[in-house]
Structures are given as structure tokens and as C-alpha cells.
Amino acid sequence: MLIGGGDGSNPTSGPGRYSSPTLPGPRQSGTRVAIHEQSDFSFDPNAPDACIAGVRPYRNGSYRLDAETASGKFIVHNYGHGGAGITLSWGCAAKVRDIVQQHLVTSNDQDAAVLGAGVMGLTAATLLLDLGLKVTIYSDRKPADTTSAKAGGQWAVSVVEFQGKEQELADIIKTAFTTFKNSISSGFGVSAQPNYTRIRSENLDAVLQLAPGLIPPPVALARMPFEGHAKPGFEYQTLLIEPPIFLARLEADLLARGVSFVQRKFASRSEILGSLMQDIVVNCTGLGAMKLWSDPKVVPIKGQLAMLPAQPNLQYLYGQDGYMFPRADHVVIGGTFEVGVSSETPNKSVCKSLVNHIASLFGKAPTKSLPDIHIHHPDHAPIVNPLTPGV
């Protein structure tokens, strides 16, 4: 989920989505509400790494997960997952593995090149090793410097289109969720967490719709269980994946299994096809596919996060009106949504405004209207909300 991986959204209608059937109704909570420990919203935007920015690799229409043959090479494309990269990673990697496995039925290929060292590339490389292939990862960035490293980390279907791919995406999220859930307490930075929302979360409702029973329906709360909150809300059960831990573990495991990481920046598709020795190429270049594969459907969407000092006593996620994810390294507060902006330079005043907005919801700062670049501004719902009905 880049920056905002697993964000919520405000409901509205708009183009490019499918109509949603009736979703499971929320369970009702008891009458007593335990108030969670108060967050500390102290924030110094000038502190090292206090403000970060990344760019979601969004693709109009849908993500791309398919194969083609060109210049004698078998190419599998796996990109365009918007803010759901981490969420979908293991499921997409399984699809990549299956596509390559079918190719190997009629091929003697033994080497594979994976393009990109973000979460899509690392998970795909991991499962390709299970086919007995020699895998090399090519990237102009180390895993810790990729877009994936700048994600919030909530497991939810966020900022990704899947028009016409509902069944495929259902399979992907089932595999991804199960894999992540099975890795809890195994050093991958995965934990089960409640997510409290003011309104229903379309990002998690999409999961309820596509894969009924995978996660429980939300519990309806008479009031949100936080200081400064008096209105009703919902409690979902989901996962938190901490990118610094997850990416480092994937990288370490790949190195231990003999995978080579080659730092290289490609300028064009022709350079890739003409210079790589491997006959299997897995394209996980994310935003880079816009240029390398001449894909006009790929659109950059900039997002920014404010990183507060870690608060170990906070054991919940908060979303749907801004979002807050307490992780081991930071309390992550987001987010912004700038379509067509590819700059990765953060704006300290924007990050400060993100913190002030969340603090205001807890009664710790004056209430202000949402800026138009905030992810939960109503103008962004046609893209942010995966359940917006088609027209």
C-alpha cells in the first residue's frame, strides 16, 4: 500500500469501477467502551526522516499481470498496483510463479531476471526460486530506497483498479492475506491489528466483497474508543506490515539463497531486451513501466507521510479521516494524494498539517477543513475508493 498503502476513503460515485453488492452488515459492540491510550502528537518536521514522500505507481483501468514474448524473451508484467503493492505482493508473486511454471513446461530456461527491488520484485523473486531457477534482481535502487519502503503498511485494497479482474484479485488477496497471516511472529514485521474508522472503510469492504470470510465484518461502535471522540464508528480486524522489517527480511533471505542484486538503471525496453542474458524477464518496475514499457495508463500519485517517534503502547490503526499507523520505528501519519506529481521531495509544512489534522480529531489541535491534496478529500474518492460504482 505506497504511502497510504491501506488508506481509507470518502464514499462518492465516479467512473472506472464496478457496482458493489450488499456487503455484510457490521456486528454490534457491547455497551462498554474501553478508551485507548492517548497518542502523543508532538512532531518536529525538521527532525531527520520526519517527513517522507513517495509516488504510488497507479494504473488506470487495472494493474497489469500478464505475459508476452518479445525478442526471444518470455516477459511477465507485474506492476500498476497503486497503494496496494505490499497488500497484494505475495498473491501477485504466486501468479507470476504460476505463469512462469507453465512456460517452463515447454522451455528449458534456467535463469530469470527480475526488474525492480521493491516489494513486487522481492516477493516474485522469492517464489521463482521455488521453481529451481537462478534469479538475478536488477534495480537502480536498493530495497530500502524503493517506493515500497515509503508505504504505511496497512493490509487493505488501496488505490488500485481491478475492473474486469474481480476473480483474479480475489485469488490474489486470499493468497496474500494467508501468507502474511502465517508469517506473524516470524520476523517479517507482520502483526494483527484492529483498525478504527469513523465511516466504513471501502478498502477493507472491498476485501469483504471479493473474498467473503477472509476477514470478519466490522464491529459497529456506539462511539469511537478514543479521547476526544464522541461519535459512532467501526472496528475492523486487519494486518499491519512494517515495510522496514519486511523488505529487509526479504532481501536477507534472497541473498542467503544465492540471489544476486545488480544495481542498474535501464533507459528503454530495447535496452532491457537487448542486453539481458536471461530469457525470462519479470517486470516489476512499478512507475518505471510508464517509460520503459511505454504504458500511458501508468500515472504517478505523490503521497507524503509524517513520521512521529515510536509509541509502543499504541496498539491500533486509525483511518478514514487521515490515518495513523503505530509501528515499531515510528507512528506514521498520512496522507496526501497528488495525481500526476512524480516528485519525491517532501514538504515539511504539508507533513505538519497532516499531524495537526489527526491531532484535531483527538481534541488536541484546532479543527480545520481538509486541504485539497489530502487523501480523504472528497475529490479523490473516484480513484481512492475501489468500490466506486461504474457508470
3-class DSSP string for 246-281:
HHHHHHHHHHHCCCEEEECCCCCHHHHHHHCCCCEE
pTM above 0.75, yes or no: yes
What whole-number distance in Å separates Cα of residue 311 and Cα of residue 322?
Answer: 18
Is residue 137 included in any domain, yes or no?
yes
CA angle 188, 87, 250 (to 5 degrees): 30
pLDDT band at 33 (very low <50, low <70, confident <90, very high): low
**Grid coordinates belonging to 242:** 512494517
- Whole-number Å distance between alpha carbons of 164 and 61: 9
Count of the separate structural domains present in the chain: 1
Using the predicted structure, report yes or no on whether residue 145 has a pLDDT greater than 50: yes
94 in a structural domain: yes
Distance CA 216, CA 172 (A): 18
Does 49 have pLDDT greater than 90?
yes
CA–CA separation, 342 and 360 (whole Å): 29
Give the mean model confidence (pLDDT) for residues 44-53.
96
Q: Which residues pair with 67 in a beta bridge?
A: 76
Cα-to-chain-centroid distance, residue 361:
24
Distance CA 64, CA 169 (A): 11
pLDDT: is 32 or 47 the higher one? 47
331 falls within a domain:
yes
Task: Please report, for the domain that includes residue 276, its CATH number.
Answer: 3.40.50.720
Residue range 234-263: average pLDDT? 98
pLDDT at 113 over 70: yes
State yes or no: pLDDT of 142 exceeds 80: yes
Residue 188: closest CA among 122, 116, 247 = 247
Enclosing domain of residue 261: 37-380
Please report the pLDDT score of residue 22 as a whole number.
60
d(CA 244, CA 310): 14
Which amino acid, residue 56? R
Count, residues in the chain? 391
Is the pLDDT at 348 greater than 90? The verdict is: yes
What is residue 10's predicted lDDT score, i.e. its pLDDT? Answer: 34
Can you tell me the distance from the alpha carbon of 219 to that of 233, in angstroms, rounded to the nearest whole number? Answer: 9
pLDDT at 133 over 60: yes
- Judge whether residue 274 has pLDDT over 50: yes
Dihedral sign from CA coordinates of 369, 51, 302, 174: negative
Q: Is residue 18 part of a domain?
A: no
Residue 32 lies in a domain: no
CA Rg, the chain, in Å?
20
The phi and psi torsions of 286 (rounded to 5 degrees) equal 55, -125
Residue 14: is its pLDDT beyond 90?
Answer: no
- Cα(352)–Cα(108) distance, integer angstroms: 55
Nearest Cα residue to 334 out of 322, 317, 352: 322
Tell me how far apart the alpha carbons of residues 74 and 195 are, in angstroms, rounded to a whole number.
41
With CA atoms as reference, report the closest residue to 55 among 287, 312, 297. 287
Given this model, what pLDDT does residue 263 score?
Answer: 97
Asked, for residue 11, whether it belongs to a domain, the answer is no
Q: Looking at the DSSP assignment, which residues form a beta bridge with residue 56?
A: 301
Which residues are registered as beta bridge partners of 325? 332
**pLDDT at 260 (0 to 100):** 97
Among candidate residues 149, 195, 157, the one with its CA nearest the CA of residue 174 = 157
- Residue 355 is predicted with a pLDDT of 96
The residue assigned the cell 472506472 is 16
Asked whether residue 9 is assigned to any structural domain, the reply reads no
Residue ranges of alpha helices (H) inside 55-184 are: 85-104, 119-129, 166-182
Whether 304 maps to a domain, the answer reads yes
Lowest mean pLDDT, pick from 167-171, 257-261, 283-287, 315-319: 315-319
